[in-house]
Structure 1
Amino acid sequence: MSERWARTALMLYRCAGAAAYPLVGSYVAWRVAKGKEDRNRSRERYGFTRRERPAGPLIWVHAASVGETMAVVPLIESILDYGVNIVLTTGTVTSAKVAEERLGRRIIHQYVPLDLKPAVSRFLDHWHPDLAIIAESEIWPMTILELGARRIPQVLVNGRLSDRSFRSWKKRSSIAAALFENLAHVIAQSEVDGERFRELGARPVSVSGNLKVDTPPPPANDGALHVLKQEIGARPTWAAVSTHDGEETVAAEVHRTLVSRHPGLLTIIVPRHPERADALVEQFSGMGLKVARRSAGEPVEPDTAILLGDTIGEMGLYLRLTEIAFVGRSLMSEGGQNPLEPAMLDTAVLSGRNVQNFRDSYQRLIDKGGAKLVRDPAMLAGAVNFLLTNERARHAMMAAGLATVDEMRGALGRTLKALEPFIQPLVLKARLKGANGR
């Protein structure tokens, strides 16, 4: 596709979005009904707000969901220390809760506007950001074009392109180039990601490492942790976390396979989407397994087979209850989930082989002995059995994972250094405004 056709395609996208704008109300209403949108703040998705823009320089930071939000929290805290205001947008209710818990009133939180010109324009007209920082892989054409048209610098941090996304953009390389030319800088997670962005036309590109490594381990409520540890006692445990459809069944089957070899075994299952919990309880009960549902406050009793972690924001709690964690979306689904949180919490990491979205992190963990990939449910059962049986091997794997995470740290400092040319003028502007008292 030629450059001319690429720009024509983007213009058509803009027109189609404007034409579709009056029709998106039903879509947003459907998301509200499903609990995917905050009913009281749904108008923010159209660019409306009840908040005033603060005086002085303002940076717009966007993080799509929980993982991205947690990754940029230390970055946001560092920028706030400079005295620059931040409006943070996210796309999910759960990520909004994370923003509230971690950052509180130090930032202004808004739900990200729909990638349609009227919504994006209304958002930008109100907030007038001096800089836009976008996390990971959020490539929204209309937003990028509108920022570019207003000459607002936009930087992609912790940039990542999955195999699927890269193949898709490669088929539309002219459109990618027409979009990515609007980015003032791409700060990529890995050399592979960096090269992919360069191939698609982004300039300049630097590599920082993964910001998620520089985040603190997920917290846990001390009281809840104490109660659960008392209930579990000396029982052997393992966990299947961030699981997707089908992987919970695999975990339950692994439990049934191993419980005779490890009497009292407790399996902790933490689905990626807790709204599936009702169906999972019915399924496990049908398999003859007693379930303690965390959201209902059900205790772990001596005959409980599965602790179902169907709550949001308690991953740190679940991972502190075990020394073995299988990380999902990797055996029955594709892409993988972040293995760094389990490794940070001194946990031996197991995963399926479909971990394309976190290839660099897994490769480092595997090379150092902190993670192991399994090809099927039988191999998973064998790996869990081996680690439950061999304390020395389990502890060596745990230590290797923690050491690997320590070696990977430093992405935050490298990201801040790359952002200096964009942030320092705003810092100076903020200080001058403060000195002048207006």
Structure 2
Amino acid sequence: MTVWYKLLIRFATPLVFIYLWLRGAKASAYRERWSERLALQKIPPQVRDGIVIHCVSVGETVAARGLIERVLHAYPHLPVTLTSMTPTAAEMALKLFGERVFHSYLPIDTPGAMKRFISKLSPRLLIVLETEVWPCLLEQCHLRNIPVLVVNARMSERSAKSYQKYAWLLGPIWQRVNFIAAQTNASAERFEALKVPNDKLAVRGNLKHDFQVSDEIHQQAKSWRDELNRPVLVAASTHDGEDAQILEAFSSVLGQHPNALLIIVPRHPERFDSVARLIEQQQFSYVRRSTAQTVQPSHQVFLADSMGELLLWYAVADAAFVGGSLIERGGHNPLEPIATHTAVISGPHVFNFDEIYQRLKAVDGVHIVADAKALAAAWNEWLAHPQQATQHANHAFDEFANDQGATEAILQDIERFVPFARNAEKVRTMSMIKTAKPNDKMEIWYDPSILDGCTSDHFDASFWQSQNKVKGSATGRSTAFFVDAGEHGLLLRHYYRGGLVGKVNKDRFKREPIANSRAMAEFSLLLKLRELALPVPRPVAARYVEAPVWGYRADILVEVIPNAQDLFKLLLQRSLTDSEWQQVGRTIRELHSAGVYHSDLNCHNIMLDDNGKCWIVDFDKCGFKAEGEWREANLQRLLRSFNKELTKAKEANRAFHFNETRDWPLLVDAYS
């Protein structure tokens, strides 16, 4: 991404809102949810740390339906967020998936909006359908080490030329994608020409080939056909400039087939009323789907002004015209009518799906028409000789019958970046965490499997002391309290400032989004580390409190590791055995191999339990990092902490059983 792009997208942002307002004159939904266009909305913490799937509009949402269902099944413990750009896609997401996914508009691709968006959702994976990639979005994912997969990816010759032409503006966007699952070999070759490395590219096929027409759709279509008992034609996904031609063609059809019915399905809902007016002007007798009126024998046109029913109308029809092709729009995907065994007619402008149409032409699986007159002739011919339409439909269906498998292959690609959870039923993720807001200044996150409820009192040591449940304390920069909470032993820790700042500001931190605050960030990080089966404490609850005038304060409750002592206390008592040093080295290596950076790795934050298992604690200001020299720096920090405590012990004339020459090589060898 270039400086020029950042300047241009900022300049274009007001124009986007002007466009949304103007388009809202016909479709009011475009004037709603504007805060999401700049990522200024509040996002529930329960949808953090999950998988984000971006489907720009209705077509991509429908294409991805099977894949999204598989993701929901494969990752039941993770929240799934579905993003789009249009209200119709938002409506479709709600209709198909309901509350099983969280929906948000993808914000305008400004640096600030994308930074807020990624920060609020903190996804572990971004999946983009087809080629809807944005430079600022990719940059934010790259900075946070979030993998990006582009699936069902298609790259037309025209699009490839555009990306090459504007590379000076967009920058190396395709090199920031972690993996591309292309639909076809031709698309893959064009991605290669855009300098996508071979190891980040594979041909997986088209998700729509895996599309299965449900028994419910088949039954509904049969009921409609039986009730109508007349020839039915469908003109689907039509655009401005096509409807008049389609109605002209249908007028000619009525001359030979006076009982025929035309189902017309405009591509965009805001055009429903204008198409209705056009039908009236042409003096057709018609009925609208939205009125729920029964189609009468006298009706000539059925205006399908609804969302999510296109597949049904394809299944009802004897022949289908796929729109966006009589004008230079580039056409729409014909795979849905092919799936319903409906014969396909298209205009000549199909460059968006050129490869699919080339295959259809080669097997006589599509009829291409240039204008209204040719469309009328094709419809009349097929209605007069339905066996011809059946042959076209069969040829098309057979051509793509063996192209299934894209969904399964892409799911395996996803698993490479987000492994399926072992013992998923025992995993706790943010989707399972509850939120409490005792007042406007406070927010609490807690695990309901441990605490039935959580109030502000749970973070007050005096609350536990009054019940005689404080069983001890640990001192360091501050005092942490060990609490007996029934079957769970808890550690209560308040966050304090360190260094010189801590002399004048004991425990206030600069305000930031609650999800990014110290306690909440550590809480969610611990959930992810335990999901990876790493030896860290189980988080129980976290609290954010807005301080008066400036800043916030924070507290966290974690589960106590039973019968464990930190290395500092152990080394005050005795030397560690060779196997114990080796266990410490292996555990740190396990942490580092998972990409986990511990900002304060020292002998106070490493523990051994009675069974010799090593644990790492205190993950304040920690997180995931990409490959780098930080791992060696982490080890050196740990070594300095041992030597620091050794020096202090010598000065105090007390024992500290650490010998760098003897002990440290054991740890390092096991780590290596």
TM-score of the two chains, using structure 2 as the length reference: 0.59
Aligned to 1:3: none
- Is 1:35 the counterpart of 2:23 in the alignment? no
Paired residues for 1:184-263 under 5 Å: 184-203=178-197, 204-217=200-213, 228-229=224-225, 232-233=228-229, 235-263=230-258
- Is 1:375 the counterpart of 2:362 in the alignment? no
**Alignment-mate amino acid for residue 153 of structure 1:** P
Provide the rounded CA distance (Å) in 2 between the counterparts of 1:174 and 1:55.
Answer: 36
Aligned to 1:11: 3
Do 1:343 and 1:370's aligned partners in 2 also have CA atoms closer than 8 Å? no
- Is 1:107 the counterpart of 2:204 in the alignment? no
**Alignment-mate amino acid for residue 177 of structure 2:** L
Aligned pair in 2 of structure 1 residues 191, 71: CA closer, same or farther (>3 Å)?
A: same
Aligned to 1:422: 417
Provide the rounded CA distance (Å) in 1 between the counterparts of 2:139 and 2:29.
Answer: 26
Number of matched pairs? 428
C-alpha deviations, 1:173-230, integer Å up to 9, x for none?
4555611111111111111111111111222221111112223338977997577545
Aligned pair in 2 of structure 1 residues 418, 299: CA closer, same or farther (>3 Å)?
A: same
Of structures 1 and 2, the one with the larger relative CO (CA 8 A, separation 6+) is: 1
Provide the rounded CA distance (Å) in 2 between the counterparts of 1:346 and 1:268.
Answer: 17
- Is 1:307 the counterpart of 2:299 in the alignment? no
1:327 to 322, 328, 332: 322
Do 2:20 and 2:31's aligned partners in 1 also have CA atoms closer than 8 Å? no
Provide the rounded CA distance (Å) in 2 between the counterparts of 1:230 and 1:14.
Answer: 57
265-274 or 12-21, which deviates more:
12-21
58-67 or 243-252, which deviates more:
243-252
Among all aligned residue pairs of Structure 1 and Structure 2, give the percentage whose two residues are the same amino acid. Answer: 34
C-alpha deviations, 1:257-316, integer Å up to 9, x for none?
122222312222111123323333333333332122222234322222211212222212
Aligned-partner SS, 1:276 = helix
1:433 to 505, 530, 540: 530
State the Cα distance separating 1:347 from its structure 2 match: 0.2
Aligned-partner SS, 2:349 = coil
Aligned to 1:337: 332
- Is 1:166 the counterpart of 2:160 in the alignment? yes
- Is 1:97 the counterpart of 2:91 in the alignment? yes
**Alignment-mate amino acid for residue 192 of structure 1:** A
State the Cα distance separating 1:109 from its structure 2 match: 1.5
Aligned pair in 2 of structure 1 residues 236, 40: CA closer, same or farther (>3 Å)?
A: closer
Provide the rounded CA distance (Å) in 1 between the counterparts of 2:207 and 2:220.
Answer: 29
Aligned-partner SS, 1:109 = strand
Provide the rounded CA distance (Å) in 1 between the counterparts of 2:233 and 2:274.
Answer: 22
Aligned to 2:123: 129
Aligned-partner SS, 2:256 = coil
Aligned pair in 2 of structure 1 residues 180, 271: CA closer, same or farther (>3 Å)?
A: same
State the Cα distance separating 1:376 from its structure 2 match: 2.6
Provide the rounded CA distance (Å) in 1 between the counterparts of 2:25 and 2:194.
Answer: 38
Do 1:220 and 1:316's aligned partners in 2 also have CA atoms closer than 8 Å? no
Do 1:219 and 1:316's aligned partners in 2 also have CA atoms closer than 8 Å? no
C-alpha deviations, 1:390-423, integer Å up to 9, x for none?
1222222222233334222111122223333212
1:50 to 18, 42, 67: 42
Aligned to 2:509: none
Provide the rounded CA distance (Å) in 1 between the counterparts of 2:309 and 2:315.
Answer: 10
**Alignment-mate amino acid for residue 411 of structure 1:** A
Aligned pair in 2 of structure 1 residues 218, 168: CA closer, same or farther (>3 Å)?
A: farther
- Any unmatched runs of 5+ in structure 2? 428-528, 540-672
Paired residues for 1:283-298 under 5 Å: 283-298=278-293
Aligned pair in 2 of structure 1 residues 429, 38: CA closer, same or farther (>3 Å)?
A: farther
Aligned pair in 2 of structure 1 residues 355, 17: CA closer, same or farther (>3 Å)?
A: closer
Question: For the pair shown, which has the larger CA radius of gyration, 1 or 2?
Answer: 2
Aligned to 2:344: 349
- Any unmatched runs of 5+ in structure 1? 1-6
Aligned pair in 2 of structure 1 residues 36, 60: CA closer, same or farther (>3 Å)?
A: farther
State the Cα distance separating 1:21 from its structure 2 match: 5.8
